A and B are shown apart, each in its own frame.
Chain A
């Protein structure tokens, strides 16, 4: 039995004898504030009491309930989840009873909790999601001075963080498209259309782009440079390359032939993710979007967030997903070492070493005892007899330009050994789908980011550039610089965005949307 049910049962028992108490029943209106002791008790038990001003008109009409429904929809909640139809039927036709009052209050109360803390515990949706569901508290959420009515309470409690506001606007735009009814499925072309040619479908595509907020230069049948540029952007956002043509196999149809209902659901799920984030996000924070494969630092200036730093990133492959979590960058390490994970040692390194252990010196690896941390002479190891049962050392790669971590590492505090770093495989940033790492986040512009983080220190760009190793150079030590103010980090996967008024769509590489949707549906 849920705590609510227990509470309700208890309250019902205590107050059942108060059945003679009159409820102020107006036509199709419930007065939930001043009439029923049972209701009062519910409000008190759920701490709603203190939030309701004595002077407020705390009655509920069908009209008010419809406003509540609209607010739920605006915030990505489904009225059906709170049995709204039943409540409307009660308000429209039935004489309210105490049982009905409690039923309505319970559904309303549930919606407030869902709105604030999320409909499901994020950690139960996918094992790589590490965000914790925050606790619900009216005291923290609602200022006692603000006038509280049904609708005000929803508006006050709804999150207002940067990502919530952004995704709410996206949801609103998608709903407007649905209402507009001009968004229809485009019949895919039978022939391939090349840039510089004309085709009736081109105008259809341009109209759809305009509906999504893209600025289209000429609304005609000509496949021009401007259109090609938009289609390239859409393809790249999805993680696909673009051949510059329009054909029935073009990836951009994933967006341009979107089912609006699915996209609206997707936007609702982004709002659910935004509820994992704190209400008061820091004035400066880093944001890794695992779907767009971009890293952005936001800074608040005059109460508005602006993008202070942006870089392409490489994130965890599907089998080694980068965890979604909150963390912080605490330091910068120039010329870091890299410790070879056990799995990579047995899969990639040991077969090479069994043939020729001079590979170690060629690639700058040293052998370190796990028990004593002392360096071991590789010639003293019988590499052919090393097994998972008797290994007692690690391979550590010395700092170099070709070190697996590149020349800069940005450690964080998490227990999963996830951090940001440079890479020795710098060409991979040219790929459209960059879900390639073993979980860590590789930065395209690591020196720029180090410069950005260390801007208020003696480590200016010249000093950083002079310190990091160039091709062919080696060193036996790393340079560790602790940040006086760590940079808060949010790592998660938003599949929708809005850029200069245009809606952007990303692939749900990790399947988080589906996982969250499934969990909410099961609930």
Chain B
């Protein structure tokens, strides 16, 4: 029993300490693109269901390839599977036909 309590205590401590790290982890969203807008820093991607707006910065090394992929999905009206970082910057895009 004391071992179990100790384990739970460690889990709670770990979760408390690393909560912020978890919140900045990458995540994947599958949705349809509502519209693509832009500012001087990059493309703003609005999705149909997802409330968070995603961002494709111009200075991203994968900007060109990701923009091409997302535009193809929009043209074909396909859903997209988008991987974003903790700041909702787009890392990868897949066509979810």
Contacts and interface: CB of A to CB of B under 8 A. Distances in A.
A440 B46 contact: no
A426 interface: no
The secondary-structure label for the interface of chain B is: mixed
Contacts of A417: 38-42, 58
B67 A371 contact: no
A389 B88 contact: yes
Contacts of A371: 34-35, 46
B84 to A, nearest CB: 11
Nearest to A123: B64
A264 B6 CA distance: 70
A127 B64 CA distance: 10
B87 to A, nearest CB: 6
Interface stretch (A134-142, A240-248, A334-342, A478-486): A334-342
Interface stretch (B12-20, B49-57, B74-82): B49-57
B39 A415 contact: no
A394 B67 CA distance: 21
A127 B61 contact: yes
A439 B87 CA distance: 21
Contacts of B58: 416-417, 439
Nearest to A405: B40
Contacts of A181: none
Nearest to A415: B67
Interface string A446-457: 000000000000
A343 interface: yes
A320 B41 CA distance: 9
B52 A342 contact: no
A430 to B, nearest CB: 24
A391 B53 contact: yes
B44 A342 contact: yes
Interface residues of B, number: 23
Interface string A310-340: 0000000001100000000000000000111
B46 A341 contact: no
Contacts of A340: 39
B37 A438 contact: no
A320 B46 CA distance: 24
Nearest to B34: A371
A416 B87 CA distance: 20
A302 interface: no
Contacts of B88: 388-389
Nearest to B52: A389
A344 interface: yes
Contacts of B42: 341-342, 417
Contacts of A320: 59
B59 A370 contact: no
A390 interface: yes
A66 interface: no
Interface string A333-367: 00000111111100000000000000000000000
B88 to A, nearest CB: 6
A92 B48 CA distance: 73
Nearest to A389: B52
A342 B61 contact: no
B39 A394 contact: yes
Contacts of B46: 370-371
A282 interface: no
A463 to B, nearest CB: 28
B41 A341 contact: yes
Contact of A339 (B39, B57, B59, B87): B39
B53 A438 contact: no
B39 A392 contact: no
Contacts of A440: 40
Interface string A383-402: 00000111110100000000
A438 B40 contact: yes
B34 A342 contact: no
A370 B53 contact: yes
A343 B42 CA distance: 10
B54 to A, nearest CB: 10
A341 B87 CA distance: 14
Nearest to B88: A388
Nearest to B87: A388
Given A370-B53, A389-B88, A343 B37 contact: no
B67 A342 contact: no
A389 B39 CA distance: 18
Interface in B5-42: 34-35, 37-42
Interface in A413-428: 415-417
A319 B52 CA distance: 27
A140 B52 CA distance: 51
Contacts of B64: 415
A342 B37 contact: no
A438 B41 contact: yes
Contacts of B37: 370, 394
Nearest to B58: A416
Chain B CB within 10 Å — which of A320, A389, A390, A439 has the most? A389
Contacts of A439: 40, 58
A132 to B, nearest CB: 11
Contacts of A438: 40-41
Given A342-B42, A390-B52, A438-B40, 8 more contacts: A343-B57, A344-B41, A371-B34, A391-B53, A392-B53, A415-B67, A417-B58, A440-B40
Q: Which 8 A-B pairs have the closest CB atoms?
A: A341-B41, A341-B39, A339-B39, A416-B58, A341-B40, A343-B41, A389-B52, A417-B40
17 contacts: A339-B38, A339-B39, A342-B42, A342-B55, A370-B37, A371-B46, A388-B88, A389-B52, A390-B51, A392-B51, A392-B53, A394-B44, A415-B64, A416-B63, A417-B39, A438-B41, A440-B40
